[in-house]
Structure formats: C-alpha cells, structure tokens
Chain A
Amino acid sequence: GDSVTQMEGPVTLSEEAFLTINCTYTATGYPSLFWYVQYPGEGLQLLLKATKADDKGSNKGFEATYRKETTSFHLEKGSVQVSDSAVYFCAPPKGTLDNAGNMLTFGGGTRLMVKP
C-alpha cells in the first residue's frame, strides 16, 4: 500500500543555517504532494505543493522538488530564521495507511527550533 516516511525531529538549528527535512513516499501513480506548517498555537496551513513529477513548490524561502526517481519531496531552506520555528508536516497521498491499517493523512511532523 501507499506510505510516507518523514524525518523525525526535533531539529535544532542556529539562525541562517541550511534546513533539510526529508520526506519519502511510496504510491501507485503520481499523486499531488504537500508540505504543511503549524506555528505555535495555530492549526496547520499549507506551505507549498507540487502536483506532478519534477515540479518545484516554493513559498517563504522554502522549496521542495517532487522527485519521481527517488520518490522524495524533501523540504529545504537556505537560511532559516527564528520565526520559522514550527512543526512541519509532509502530507502523503490520500489513502495512505499506517502499520495498523488506519488511514494516515499526514506524516508524523518534524519540529524545527531555530535559535538566535
């Protein structure tokens, strides 16, 4: 079945450091892929998306490229800021199941903490 694996956190970086959060998926076909972000005290919001292979989503300095050959959609940012501290979710294809057979709609989330 379809599945997604997201890098576990927390990730702690200094301001202006380079960020990579890994996300890989397995799916039949080529679904749309998303990254969502959850700032403290808020719900999730879309950060970026890609709808087909080789698409690059970008927003607020973050980028992710939908790589069919490696089935990956890693999130990157060249220079993080303290305000980027949040939890980042890689959203897998709909219908993804976890090991217990339950519907999994989002990856486990990666907490990012950026220190001044």
Chain B
Amino acid sequence: ETGVTQTPRHLVMGMTNKKSLKCEQHLGHNAMYWYKQSAKKPLELMFVYSLEERVENNSVPSRFSPECPNSSHLFLHLHTLQPEDSALYLCASSLGAGGKNIQYFGAGTRLSVL
C-alpha cells in the first residue's frame, strides 16, 4: 500500500463514451501527477499539479481533461478517446513538485478503448 489509490483498476470504454479516472492520496502531499504507460512508449508525463494549480501540460490531446479539486484528489476526465489511448494510466504524488522529491505511485488504471 503506497498511500495513493486509483479507481477503477480496469476500464473498458467505447470511443463515444465519457468516463473519469480517480486518484486519491492520504500522504499530505501537495503535488500530483498523471502518467501514461503503454507497451510502445516509455512512461509519459501528462499533467502535473502543484498546490492545486496545473504547472505542466505536456502536449496532451484535449480529449484528456484533468481536474484537481483539492490537494488529495486528482481526476482525469476522458471523452471521445481513440484506440491508441489504450494504456495504463498512473497517478503519483509527492511532497513538492521539485526534482528532489520522491514520487509515490498508485497501482494504475488499465484502460481499453474499443
């Protein structure tokens, strides 16, 4: 148990669906991250939130929409996804967003887009 919980663990959705991924941390951290991990590409950073403000948006398509309502929760809203978006989506948190901080990861949501 890392203190970072992601739900659901598995998700299958059609290209016209709208769904959301949820991440929750109980570590008192103030930075949270979304990563995409697929078989063909190394771990890709998608978004970074620090103190509930988005500080990084790594050229992610607009069909992915993050939301950070407070420092403990992070969402990734999905709509009109493509099959190539099928991947493992990992959430992480850290005490701060600087490079010296250790990141703590959830177990991920395995997403399949049909």
The interface stretch among B13-21, B66-74, B75-83, B104-112 is B104-112
Contact A43 B108 (CB under 8 A): yes
CB-nearest residue of chain B to A46: B102
Q: Which residues of B contact A42 (CB under 8 A)?
A: 105, 107-108
Q: Kindly identify which residue among A31, A95, A103 contacts B58, using a CB–CB cutoff of 8 Å.
A: A103
Chain A: interface size category:
20 to 34
Binary flags per residue of A36-65, CB closer than 8 Å to B gives 1, else 0: 100001111110010100000000000000
Question: Nearest chain A CB to B43's CB is how many angstroms away?
Answer: 5
Q: Is the interface of B mostly helix, strand, loop or mixed?
A: loop
Decide: B99 and A94 in contact? CB cutoff 8 A: yes
B45 within 8 A of A: yes
Give Cα A42 to B4, complex, Å: 12
Which residue of chain B is the closest to A96 with respect to CB atoms? B99
Cα A31 to Cα B98 with chains together (Å): 10
Given contacts A32-B99, A95-B99, A103-B58, contact A43 B42 (CB under 8 A): no
Chain A positions near chain B (C-beta within 8 angstroms) = 31-32, 34, 36, 41-46, 49, 51, 89, 93-95, 102-109
